[in-house]
Amino acid sequence: MAQIFPGLLMAGVLLVMAALSAGCSSLPAPARNSEIAWQLLNVVDTGQTVTIARNPNEFWERSPPCRAVIGAHPSENDVYAWMAAAAVIHYGVSAGLNALDDAHPHSGWGVALNAWESVTLGIKGLYIAHNNRIGLKPWAGDRD
């Protein structure tokens, strides 16, 4: 249970954030569904990255943007801070693109929103699939 608690805590924080800020309800349905999917995958990716932090002799962070921020062998606290920031930034970009589309209909912002959601969802899915293939289980303990 001690290994699962941080993940449950992060999931709870994300749910509370969504509830307090009107969540994704301001996004159009397809983007809202993609945003929710991305946020859920971000929680799974967080768990896998925590496993990297707990097993520095076996795994290292391979994502170039993530590695540039938290390093190849991050601490658990750095993982949680980065992934929480990524969740807020992702939602902020989605909401911003949606606001631009509302303010300037038919000017391409809706296409940009759909592209943003699709590309980032695909990338997050690829990271998780790769992590799973190499044996990264979310919130796994120290394997040494």
Query: Which residue's structure tokens are 């969540």?
Result: 23
Q: What is the pLDDT of residues 94-119, one digit of tens each?
A: 999 999 999 999 999 999 999 999 99
Q: What is the pLDDT of residues 46-88, one digit of tens each?
A: 999 999 999 999 999 998 989 999 999 999 999 999 999 999 9
Query: DSSP per residue over 1-49, as a string?
Result: -TTTHHHHHHHHHHHHHHHHTTTTTTS-HHHHHHHHHHHHHHHHHHHHH
Prediction pTM value: 0.80
Distance in angstroms (rounded) separating the CA atoms of residues 31 and 25: 10
**Domain ranges across the chain:** 5-133
Other Cβ atoms less than 10 A from the Cβ of 79: the count is 25
Other Cβ atoms less than 10 A from the Cβ of 111: the count is 12
